[in-house]
């Protein structure tokens, strides 16, 4: 099993460009796995972890409802927001500056993980990172992602969304972690399909901007550590 993970910070990158790169890496891993099913020399599958930020964009997962996009084309144009229907699970979410978007393109068989455990691992890496900044994150029953005040349904708010695509245990897409995110952009969607839950960011919770590069470094370390360990 190949547990080496190739990390790249793509910085600020157009959503379509990052999506195309993911698809390329994803297809390459799938092809290796398909080739292994036949005769020939055994080849290990690579693993990739991409971090980035995106210009303002809303993305709608394959099981999501367009009704959760509350803005019309004119509003999107005025605010400079792109919109994409994409091939991950989940509903609608927002990506923008000040948010860490993580795209692990992995062969989960290299880490002995199934999808349920993998999702939990992504959440655990964000929860561990938040704890290092004295923010208590957790999971909300019946919902993916990382939330705050999960014991109080009226105050529960999401700080990190999770949505993935997988085939033959190969993953793409991933998570969107609000650090210094402009939360006003969430006013134009029902985030992840919820109409009764709020969103937040580290900046809002801590009362000031947070150094994005520091959060990225801590998050990368926590995610790599949990993957090498094989679970949360």
Is the CB of residue 173 less than 8 Å from the CB of residue 110? no
How far apart CA 118 and CA 102 sit, in angstroms, is: 14
Residues forming the active site: 192
CB-based contact 106:115 (threshold 8 Å):
no
Q: In the predicted model, is pLDDT for residue 73 greater than 60? A: yes
Q: In sequence order, what are the residues at sequence separation of 6 or more whose Cβ sits closer than 8 angstroms to the Cβ of residue 28?
A: 46
CA distance 205 to 96: 18
Mean pLDDT in residue range 138-167: 94
And the tokens for 121?
């691992």
Q: How far apart are CA 97 and CA 181, in angstroms?
A: 6
Q: Kindly give, in sequence order, each residue whose CB lies less than 8 Å from that of residue 164, ignoring residues fewer than 6 positions away.
A: 88, 89, 115, 118, 119, 122, 171, 172, 173, 174
- Closest alpha carbon to 200 in 173, 176, 232: 176
pLDDT at residue 40, as a whole number: 66
As a whole-number percent, the residues of the chain with pLDDT over 90 amount to 83
Per-position b or e across 65-74, b if 16+ CB within 10 A of its CB: eeebbebeee
Confidence label for 42 from pLDDT (cuts 50, 70 and 90): confident
pLDDT band at 89, cuts 50/70/90? confident
Between 32 and 154, residue with greater pLDDT: 32
Please give the Cα distance from 35 to 14 (Å, whole number). Answer: 32
118-141, pLDDT tens digit by residue?
A: 999 999 999 999 999 999 999 998
Least confidently predicted of 65-69, 128-132, 135-139, 217-221: 65-69
Kindly report, residue by residue over 175-191, the tens digit of the pLDDT: 999 999 999 999 998 87
Domains of the chain: 5-229 (3.30.930.10)
DSSP string, the chain: ----EEEEEEEE--HHHHHHHHHHHHHHHHHHHHHHTSSS---PPPEEEEEEE-SSEEEE-TT--GGGB---HHHHHHHT-EEEE-SSSS-EEEE-TTEEEEEEE-BGGGTT--HHHHHHHHHHHHHHHHHHTT--EE--TT--SEEESTT-TTT-EEEEEEEEEEETTEEEEEEEEESS--GGGGGGB-GGG-SS-EE--HHHHHTS---HHHHHHHHHHHHHHHHHHT--
Q: How confident is the model at residue 231 (pLDDT cuts 50, 70, 90)?
A: low
At 191 the pLDDT is 75
Rounded to 10 degrees, the C-alpha dihedral 205/131/116/3 comes to: 130
């Amino acid at each position: 099993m190949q547990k080496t993970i190739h990390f790249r910070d793509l910085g600020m990158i157009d959503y379509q460009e990052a999506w195309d790169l993911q698809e390329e890496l994803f297809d390459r891993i799938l092809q290796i796995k398909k080739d292994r099913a036949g005769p020939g020399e055994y080849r290990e599958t690579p693993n990739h972890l991409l971090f980035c930020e995106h210009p303002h964009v809303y993305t709608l997962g394959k099981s999501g409802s367009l009704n959760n996009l509350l803005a019309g084309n004119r509003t999107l144009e005025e605010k400079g927001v792109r919109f994409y229907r994409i091939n991950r699970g989940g509903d609608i979410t927002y990506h923008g500056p000040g948010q860490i978007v993580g795209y692990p393109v992995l062969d989960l068989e290299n880490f002995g993980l199934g999808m349920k455990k993998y999702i939990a691992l992504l959440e655990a890496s964000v929860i561990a990172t938040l704890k290092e900044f004295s923010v208590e994150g957790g999971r909300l029953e019946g919902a993916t992602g990382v939330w705050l005040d999960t014991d109080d349904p009226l105050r529960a708010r999401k700080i990190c969304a999770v949505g993935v695509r997988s085939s033959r245990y190969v993953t793409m897409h991933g998570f969107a972690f609000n650090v210094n995110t402009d939360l006003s952009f969430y006013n134009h969607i029902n985030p992840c399909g919820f109409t009764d839950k709020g969103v937040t960011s580290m900046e809002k919770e801590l009362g000031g901007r947070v150094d994005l590069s520091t959060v990225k470094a801590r998050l990368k370390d926590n995610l790599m550590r949990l993957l090498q360990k094989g679970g949360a």
